[in-house]
Amino acid sequence: MPHDLASRLPPELHSLALVALTTSLMWIPYLLARVLVHGPWPALANPPPALPPWADRAKRAHANAVENLAVFAPLVLIASAAGAADAMIVLAAQAYLAARAVHYVVYVLGIPIVRTLAFLCGFTATLVVGWRILCMAA
């Protein structure tokens, strides 16, 4: 039965689900780093102990992903609900997923130029979805 649901899920919502799931897992590396560096009990302290630089970047990349998902997700949902999701919106949703995955990895690795380009690709995908909705509504 789960396979049946996946076959009925529109491709833009499938991509959005993958984006949301990927974003929801981005906290794991920096929490594991905190536990491995400081131990389980100190990792749960309030405020938590400092993170290694790569893990701090992972935390910031996760926060950035959540902030951007808050804009991207409603646009995809609006397009899908309105029946306006065309091939361009599906492609934008797939590009957004790839861009955000690349952004996270290169942010954690500390690669600034690629990080900015990946961010801009995701932002462009968001603008494409929004633009397509507005064009179809006109």
pLDDT in tens, 64-113: 999 999 999 999 999 999 988 899 999 999 999 999 999 999 999 999 99
Q: What is the mean pLDDT of residues 47-55?
A: 90
- Please indicate, yes or no, if residue 113 is contained in any of the structural domains: yes
Nearest in space to 10 (alpha carbons), one of 109, 107, 76: 76
Residue 111 lies in a domain: yes
Q: Check residue 138 and give its pLDDT.
A: 72
- Residue ranges making up the domain that contains 68: 2-24+53-137
Tokens of 50: 């400092």
Considering the domain boundaries, does residue 102 fall inside one?
yes
- The total of structural domains in the chain comes to 1
Q: Average pLDDT, stretch 27-42? A: 93
pLDDT-based confidence at 43, cuts 50/70/90? confident
CB 76 within 8 A of CB 13: yes
pLDDT band at 137, cuts 50/70/90? confident
pLDDT band at 33 (very low <50, low <70, confident <90, very high): very high
Q: 63 in a domain, yes or no?
A: yes
Helix crossing, 28-38 with 53-81: angle to 10°? 160
| Alpha-carbon span 135 to 138, nearest angstrom | 5
Helix axes 112-137, 87-109, angle to 10 degrees: 160
In angstroms, rounded to a whole number, what is the distance separating the alpha carbons of residues 109 and 118?
13
